[in-house]
Structure 1
């Protein structure tokens, strides 16, 4: 099962995306619809709201008068929190019930207007954000909902701004064009990313690029890492350390478009336990094989680790699981920090990478041929660490 979080600002066209995904075969769980369901006439939720705020929040038919309730809680933080304590657990429970009832091979799309505001992004395999210019959104709210401009602007201002939503987005769908344009973008996403992603999650298959293609530095790599790291921490539980390592963690360095991440564990025995299953369920399955790092300097026993990848065909990841304070763990952090600090070595490494990518474009050969350079770089990095007092 693939869990997708769908969100977007009011008037962005999120509902159109949700409807298209449902037509393609997704199981859509609508948070707004559930929020209305849990306070419907005769529900325990409505009874508790009345007990808390009195029957002044009911209309003449005994249903919840949302305007009256809003007047009670608007501007009153304590009242708002009492209301959330009634509704949020019920919404979460009903959402979990609907997700659990979906087929095991489903793409489940959770349509949540305030997904970013309440911090739900790490709980999904992928977050999809629909965006449109504010002017477009204001026009839609006036045309489709009869909302006056002042009210529309107030609603837009009350939600997360575009920058916050974009930071949480694995996929941004622009909806300033026509409905046909939007449908075409959703269809492509469904067939080329969501369906393969779901299959890979279900089959615990990690995507691994076979050829080495260097790309120019991408300023969004750190932001992409942050989203992935939050997902990994959520899956791992506890207080495990997660670090961005490798070339994409070094500003200004061309690299393979693969995010390298290090997860620190107390022992590899823990990495082989339930943690491996939790990571796989979150979209980071174990890569089969006996994995380790070549020791620096050469000659000693190989540094053992576990390797996970990403099930997402749109975002390759290597997740290196290493023991805290182990040589391989320290080495990954030292190399990253030394290359960040030394422009000369960064330039030298880039030259080596370009030469090897041209002559040995397959990943296995490329990695092996870099070893001699790293054997020498390790000595330089250790000298730098001693001179600067560096610690991991």
Structure 2
């Protein structure tokens, strides 16, 4: 297996692991075959479901790939706020003719079982979201040759990841679509504007840690990739850019909404899951976002039947339309072709910025 981050792929382009169906074997394989680094999202899957997808991906590509795990979350000790939110959602159950979900689902996302499988049958790279694993877990992956990456949203989180033994960090700016990968969910930070943009956060992290950095958040074009590489990142991670590809497992309503003029902007919301996540502003987000409690994954379980019913009804106004701030720049093309276009744009931008020809950037492999 590769021992340096830039050895995993030809281009410094990482396809973000998008849980909930977006990142499956087809998408990851297409990205890997085109010279990028494809990722499977193990979040919301059973341990066996994750393993079956890994087997499928191995049948589609022999190139290195990654698997992303959700860290276990604290158990919900007070359900009163969730029950109040259940009452708030009563109109949704009548509209979509469905019941709300049981909030007593697991809070660990099968973490221990997934770690055990990935230790027994190693993959090239494993990343973590919603926290930092223990040194024992990270050391265990190092023993079997697996490269580890921890998603961070502050310099302090990056420092903790380095201290724990992570090989690299994925720096997630506030522009990123989907869930913010904060290690501690602080409801007091809601609406304060405390989240940092990618370039500001990247600079802070680069001055705090010595391990390689992957930059993520609102990246949609090769010139943006060139910018984060010039700022010190080793690679760039893109999610929303790959969401519109035919290999993506996202709902067609979700794909269409990315460039639909009806959806003008994104916001961070707890409406669908109980954790801050950036999505296109639709009716559900507007009506329920102000009332959603900080209760992940209880709220995720609560709203799951409504989201499923909305999808079945073809109603994008009831879906969690996760998207980064650059969503209007989404391009409908095969994932492999998109990797090629991004790489060509990156090369052109490097030349125009006087950074030389094709390459990874400062200290990276050419």
In the superposition, the TM-score normalised over structure 2's length comes to 0.29
More helix by percentage: 1
Larger RCO of the pair (alpha carbons < 8 Å, separation 6+): 2
